[in-house]
Each structure stands twice: as structure tokens, then as C-alpha cells.
Structure 1
Amino acid sequence: MYFDMPQAIAADLQDCGDCPIRHRAVCARCETDELERLDQIKYYRSYEAGQTIVWSGEPMDFVGSLVRGIATLSQTMEDGRTQMVGLLLPSDFVGRPGRRGAAYDVVATTDLVMCCFRKVPFEEMMARTPHIAQRLLEMTLDELDAAREWMLVLGRKTAREKIASLLSIIARRDATLNLRAQDAKIVFDLPLTREAMADYLGLTLETVSRQISALKRDGVIVLEGKRHVTIPDFERLLDEAGDDSDGGFLS
């Protein structure tokens, strides 16, 4: 189940040129006529925090991009255990053209808005629109690189490095989406609870809380409440994550 988007938000997003993810989304390289064709098959959906967007194996009649908000990808094993396997941030793509069902459970972590495309018309448009197919390929390869880097995080990094790595991913994406330089102060609201961070990073809740407190005490982050994070020096955060200034993680 999903909710009709409030009219004020819908009106704000109708013009693709004003879309906050326009420069990073699957339509980033589309020409005006291509955007017009996409507009004919698009619609918006909004979800509340905690709501399931799609269950693993469930048929999907749409694909789309997150415009606002955060979602998680998770997989449930036969014995009922669930593992979070990925984060979806604004501009990330949901769904797989050419595949009937969903590969993972997709759950809204925060209230979110998706720009959706009817799946069959989108697949047909991909076949005749190189700009869309090329951009989707780039996004898929970026996702593959990020997944390989995440294997390093989970397998080899210390608890402190894991926390710093996750913060750097979110901080870099925030800076990219808002077209801010990464050498400037970055401020964002952490989209995950500490319990969710523990699940995602393979740590205990106590370890996550202890490491966040240590990063705060050492001045690597400034924390207001439990979620409002300021990164005064992004290079220092990368040092704590064990990454160099070139990234390690894709933005």
C-alpha cells in the first residue's frame, strides 16, 4: 500500500528541471523530448517510515528513483532471520528492467517520495533511448563497486572505521545531491537508528553507540540529539574510515 502524495509536494516535483535528483537520476542525460516521453509514463508515490515498498519475490509493475527519503534493502532467510544488505539514498534506482519480481525487501526508513515509471513502457523506452540505457548501466556499475567496497568494510575494518565509513557515504551523497563542495562543512540527519546501523554493519548496538560517542568526543563529528550530524572536516572523517580523498566509496 502507498499513499497519494500531498498536492503541494506533487506540484513541486512536476517540472523535471526542478527535480532535486535530476543531475544524478536515471534521466540525468535525457534531452527535452526524452523527458517529455518519460513524463507520460511517470507518477509519484509516497511512503511512510517503516512501510514496505515491495517484498522480495513480489511482482513489480513499476521501476523508479527515490526523490526524497531513505530506504533499506533486506533479505529474509528460510529460518526467519533478516539481514539488511543495502541502503537506497535519493537518486538511487529501485527495480530491475527485464525482471518480473523484486530481488529484496525494500522498506522505507524515513518518509519518502519515489518517482515511478510504468515498467513495460520504461523497458520499451530503454530499448530506443541510449541516454537512459547508458545512465542505468553507469548506475548499476557504481552500485557494484559500492557493494565490493562494502565487503571490505564488513570484512576488514574496525568498528570505528565501519561507523566512519557509513557516515562518509551519507555525507558524500548529501554533498553531491545538494551540489556542495566536500571540503565544506556537511550537515545531515542520520537516516538510520542505531539499531539499524548495528544490523547493517554487523555490530552490536552497544558498540555502535560507543563508537559514535568516541567520534563525537574526538571532534570528528558534532552530534545534536541522536540524528543531526555535522562533519566539520570531511578529510578527517575519511581518515577515520581508512579511505583516501579519492573516495573508496562512490558518491
Structure 2
Amino acid sequence: MSSCDLCVVRNRAICAALHPVELEALNTIGRTRRLEAGESLMWEGEDSVLVANVIDGVLKLSTNTEDGREQIVGVVYPSDFIGRPFGGTTGHGVTALTDATVCVFARRDFDAFARQHPALEHRLLERTLGELDRTRRWMLLLGRKSASEKLASFLLEMVERLGPKGCAAHAGPGGSGPLVDLPFSRQQIADVLGLTIETVSRQFTRLKNEGIIDLPSRREVRVVDLDALTAEAG
């Protein structure tokens, strides 16, 4: 069987729109690449030469400010598509937050394949519009919400994106809510949300003290009361 036959995100990635024969053709131009946490796949400002499907792991999209600071502008999860098809330069760097596996295509080969397969182009358009919606929600999150609302919204997204489909969340002991392994440090969460690490730590402690979440470890969050967390997110 081809790697497409064995792909765990096949039914959720952009290639889900393709028939078996088309998948076989796509498989001939792609290759699987494994990334270690901290390893970069794409660099901001460089020519767009690669595109990829995320198979496993979590990666960050980041840009550098004029004073040299890194700003995380997005996060991608299993089944997400990364890169810029049809030319141009890469608008942000792409770096693995966790050990990750991606299916990589040379951008020109992928462009040619997409032009020959309208279903794939349509799926790309759907993904682009979905990403635009998420960006608008993120602008609201960063610009209007309080610190508590920001962290609650962030945790809800982790539950949604790293839930059973992402194979990174599971029920806690006794069937208590989903247990999520966060791919972020406290400092990275603060950077993503535009907060200080002290504020993030205080909000985690408050949510735990109020019985909304539990914190088995620094990188694990168990959602005890999903309705309360949703209300907290505003």
C-alpha cells in the first residue's frame, strides 16, 4: 500500500477530496518528513518552494518584529495544510513545537497537480476561507478579550483541535473530562495570547482553584467543567 493508504489524517486533509487513483498519483510527488521539536520547515520571507500536510504533531507559524522578537501568529495541527501554493514568498516561519510528521510536496509539483484536479483546488479554497475565519476570531481574541477570556478560548481550541481526532486528548481517570497534552510552555502561551507569563500562570491557578480545570503537570490540562470553561471564554 502507498503512504496515502496508511495516512491517519487521510479523511480530514485536503487530499480527502481525491479518488484512489488520484491519491496514488499524488503519492508519487510527495514524501514523508519527520521533524524534531524546534526544527524549522519553512522560513519567513523565502521563496515558497514547499507545501505540506501535517500528519502528526503541532507546529507554530511565527514572524519576527523589527526589534528581533518572535511573534507566534498561528498554530497548525494534524490534517492542516501549510505553505503557499501558486507562487509568492513564505509570509511566516514554520517550526515544529512537538516532534511532528508532515507530508511534503515541492510547491511547483503540487501546483501542477492541483490545476489538473479541480476537487483539490476546491478543497484548498475551503481551507483558505476557514483559515480566514479563524484569523478574524483570533483578531477578536487578541484585541478585545480579557486575560481570562483569552486563556479560556485558547484551552477550548486545544480541546477541539487536540481532542479524539487529534489523538492527543483522552478522558481522565474516572471519566472526568478530556486530558490534553499541551504542546506549549507557559511562556509560549503568553506569547501567543499577548500576555505576560505571570498573568498566564495566575489564570491557570484561578481556573484550577475554581474547579474548572485540573493541572496534573506543567504540560497537561484536564477540563473538569467544559460548560464553565466555555462561559469563561465569553
Same fold (TM over 0.5): yes
Q: Could you tell me which of 154, 161, 164 is aligned with 1:166?
A: 154
What does the per-residue CA deviation read over 1:6-51, in whole Å, with 9 as the maximum and x for residues that have no partner?
xxxxx9xx54244222222111221111111111111011111112
SS in 1 for 2:55: strand
Alignment check: 8 A CA contact 2:211 2:225 kept? no
Unaligned runs of 5+ in 2: 171-175
* 1:193 maps onto 2:185 in alignment: yes
SS in 2 for 1:86: strand
SS in 1 for 2:98: coil
| Residue 175 (structure 1) shift | 2.8
| Residue 75 (structure 1) shift | 1.0
Equivalent residue number for residue 221 of structure 1 = 213
* 1:101 maps onto 2:89 in alignment: yes
Paired letter, 1:113: T
Alignment check: 8 A CA contact 2:3 2:27 kept? no
- Alpha-carbon distance in 1 for matches of 2:71, 2:91: 13
Q: Could you tell me which of 38, 41, 51 is aligned with 1:63?
A: 51
- Alpha-carbon distance in 2 for matches of 1:131, 1:155: 36
Q: Which piece of structure 1 moves more, 45-54 or 190-199?
A: 45-54
Equivalent residue number for residue 42 of structure 2 = 54
Q: How many residue pairs align between the two structures? A: 229
Same amino acid, percent of matched pairs: 43
- Alpha-carbon distance in 2 for matches of 1:114, 1:70: 10
Unaligned runs of 5+ in 1: 1-10, 243-251
Paired letter, 1:167: L
**Higher-strand-fraction structure:** 2
- Alpha-carbon distance in 1 for matches of 2:46, 2:34: 19
Q: Compute the RMSD of aligned alpha carbons.
A: 2.2
Equivalent residue number for residue 5 of structure 1 = none
* 1:235 maps onto 2:223 in alignment: no
- Alpha-carbon distance in 2 for matches of 1:125, 1:233: 46
SS in 1 for 2:68: coil
* 1:84 maps onto 2:40 in alignment: no
| Residue 102 (structure 1) shift | 1.2
- Alpha-carbon distance in 1 for matches of 2:90, 2:166: 30
Q: Could you tell me which of 131, 137, 161 is aligned with 1:143?
A: 131
SS in 2 for 1:16: helix
Equivalent residue number for residue 249 of structure 1 = none
TM-score (norm: length of structure 1): 0.85
| Residue 188 (structure 1) shift | 1.7
Alignment check: 8 A CA contact 1:20 1:177 kept? no
What does the per-residue CA deviation read over 1:180-206, in whole Å, with 9 as the maximum and x for residues that have no partner?
99xx93222011111001111010000
Q: Could you tell me which of 45, 49, 66 is aligned with 2:33?
A: 45
Alignment check: 8 A CA contact 2:55 2:79 kept? yes
- Alpha-carbon distance in 1 for matches of 2:17, 2:211: 40
| Residue 234 (structure 1) shift | 2.8
Paired letter, 2:138: W
What does the per-residue CA deviation read over 1:144-191, in whole Å, with 9 as the maximum and x for residues that have no partner?
00010011111111111101101111111123625999xx93222011
Paired letter, 1:221: I
Q: Which piece of structure 1 moves more, 232-241 or 209-218?
A: 232-241
- Alpha-carbon distance in 2 for matches of 1:66, 1:217: 36
